[in-house]
């Protein structure tokens, strides 16, 4: 990394991130390059935002055309891109009468969902049940919804009204409900929490509980949405319909965009004055999102997500007998977690040195969110590096 970049960050950028000493300057598909010309294969593009990899051509073209026509107007006006995107998303849920609201990030999408749940609940019904180990964002409402005490540290008092159940435990959810409860909120697959898949019957059971107690069921699909799991939305793998789905990350192929989709009787609680986002639904983000949807559809990428899952599974399962410290692989589409019995940080570091970008969450889960455009060749090339570095974890350190 250039010394002046390093110095500028040191002097002028708040140090709230653990950053690698690498400055990325350019990307194409699943490959990125740093300022010294080193090439990396990216199995974690944009922390889940790069569902089509870096600089997807249709998204680039859509943004370039839009930016020359109309950059931004606030929501006091109608724009064609916002209407088209709302229609495209709502139609893909298949829910009759669904409506969309737009903002700029995942945490904002969840804030809007929290407000909707309270407004829909009515006076005195404000509590929301979320799950332990969940991750819903960093603004104060979404943070309170996040069931991980480490993220609350030093920030008390939290927004009141959240109660946390262990992920997968229906009885625990039922026990937490009281007359003040208005909603259950869940990631259908916990992402940051370790790529945790819901046990059989759990998602359907949550719908039953919500119906029995007249609660909204909110799905945070910020990470699982937009084709990541092989369907447009992860809830479509189950025979239920949530009341609200929140989206961000991959929504606009790497351009900042967040939003939610709600059933009509829920959507109508957000009346003028109850909620807003100045940049929400701006024409550039909406055109980028439309180009993302078009690419996924025209290139058959929902099917490709499932193929990529199978290829990763085969590779990881093949090394497990020789690497007993690899205790499992959890995956749905291109949301992949390799469970280790040991610390995974050395793997991330060694892969970076060898030009492969991967993530590790909760110390022992190697997390991959590869692009749906990842080729077989790229997958095999990256897996070879990853396998060698995982195998090295078993070697005695000198
Ligand atoms: C499931 C989930 N919800 C919400 C968020 C927050 O999204 P953002 O960082 O865009 O605010 C994340 C981010 O990782 C997430 O994974």
Atom 4 in ligand 1: residue holding the nearest Cα: 136
Distance CA 254, CA 285 (A): 9
> What's the confidence (pLDDT) of residue 219?
98
Q: Does the C-beta of 185 come closer than 6 Å to ligand 1?
A: no
Instruction: Ligand 1, residue 258: give the atom nearest the CA.
Output: 10
Instruction: Ligand 1, residue 47: give the atom nearest the CA.
Output: 14
Instruction: Ligand 1, residue 138: give the atom nearest the CA.
Output: 11
Q: Does the C-beta of 196 come closer than 6 Å to ligand 1?
A: no
Atom 8 in ligand 1: residue holding the nearest Cα: 106
Q: Does the C-beta of 105 come closer than 6 Å to ligand 1?
A: yes
Distance CA 214, CA 294 (A): 37
pLDDT in tens, 43-90: 999 999 999 999 999 999 999 999 999 999 999 999 999 999 999 999
How many angstroms separate the Cα of 29 from the Cα of each of 61, 154, 258, 383, 385? 15, 40, 22, 17, 19
Residue/partner pairs of 230-233 with CB below 8 Å, 24 or more apart: 230/302, 230/303, 230/305, 230/306, 230/309, 230/332, 230/333, 231/302, 232/92, 232/93, 232/302, 233/92, 233/93
Q: Which residues of the chain have pLDDT under 50?
A: none
Instruction: Ligand 1, residue 191: give the atom nearest the CA.
Output: 16
Going from the Cα of 106 to the center of ligand 1, the distance in angstroms, rounded, reads 5
Q: Does the C-beta of 205 come closer than 6 Å to ligand 1?
A: no
Going from the Cα of 163 to the center of ligand 1, the distance in angstroms, rounded, reads 19
Distance CA 109, CA 121 (A): 18
> What's the confidence (pLDDT) of residue 395?
81
> What's the confidence (pLDDT) of residue 394?
84
Q: Does the C-beta of 194 come closer than 6 Å to ligand 1?
A: no
Return the number of other C-beta atoms located less than 10 Å from residue 253's C-beta. 31
> All domains of the chain, ordered by start, with CATH?
3-55+300-392 (3.90.1150.10), 59-298 (3.40.640.10)
Q: Does the C-beta of 187 come closer than 6 Å to ligand 1?
A: yes
């Amino acid at each position: 990394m250039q010394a002046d970049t390093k110095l500028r960050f040191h002097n002028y950028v708040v140090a709230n991130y653990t950053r690698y000493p690498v400055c990325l300057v350019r990307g194409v598909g699943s490959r990125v390059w740093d300022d010294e010309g080193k090439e990396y294969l990216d199995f974690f593009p944009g922390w889940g935002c790069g569902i089509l990899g870096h600089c997807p051509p249709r998204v680039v073209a859509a943004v370039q055309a839009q930016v020359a026509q109309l950059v931004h107007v606030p929501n006091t006006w109608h724009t064609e891109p916002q209407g088209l995107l709302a229609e495209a998303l709502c139609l893909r849920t298949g829910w009759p009468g669904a409506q969309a609201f737009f903002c700029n990030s995942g945490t904002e999408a969840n804030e809007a969902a929290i407000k909707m749940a309270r407004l829909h609940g009515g006076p005195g019904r404000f509590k929301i049940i979320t799950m332990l180990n969940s991750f819903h964002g960093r603004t104060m409402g979404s943070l309170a919804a996040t069931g991980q005490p480490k993220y609350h540290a030093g920030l008390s008092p939290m927004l009141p009204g959240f109660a946390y159940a262990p992920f997968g435990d229906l009885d625990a959810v039922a026990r937490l409900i009281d007359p003040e409860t208005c909603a259950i909120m869940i990631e259908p697959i916990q992402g940051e929490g370790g790529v945790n898949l819901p046990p059989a019957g759990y998602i359907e059971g949550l719908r039953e509980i919500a119906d029995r107690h007249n609660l909204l069921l909110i799905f945070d699909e910020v990470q699982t949405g937009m084709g990541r799991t092989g369907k447009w939305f992860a809830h479509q793998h189950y025979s239920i319909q949530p009341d609200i789905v929140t989206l961000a990350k991959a929504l606009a192929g790497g351009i900042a965009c967040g939003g939610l989709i709600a059933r009509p009787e829920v959507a109508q609680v957000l009346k003028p004055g109850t909620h807003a986002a100045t940049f929400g639904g701006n024409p550039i983000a909406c055109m980028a999102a439309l180009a993302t949807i078009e690419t996924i559809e025209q290139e058959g990428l929902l099917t490709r997500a499932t193929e990529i899952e199978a290829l990763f599974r085969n590779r990881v399962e093949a090394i497990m007998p020789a690497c007993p410290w690899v205790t499992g692989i959890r995956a749905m589409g291109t949301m992949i977690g390799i469970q280790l019995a040991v610390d995974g940080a050395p793997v991330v570091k060694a892969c970076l040195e060898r030009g492969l970008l991967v993530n590790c969450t909760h110390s022992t889960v190697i997390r991959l969110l590869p692009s749906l455009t990842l080729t077989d060749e790229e997958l095999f090339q990256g897996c070879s590096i990853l396998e060698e570095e995982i195998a090295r974890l078993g070697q005695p350190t000198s």
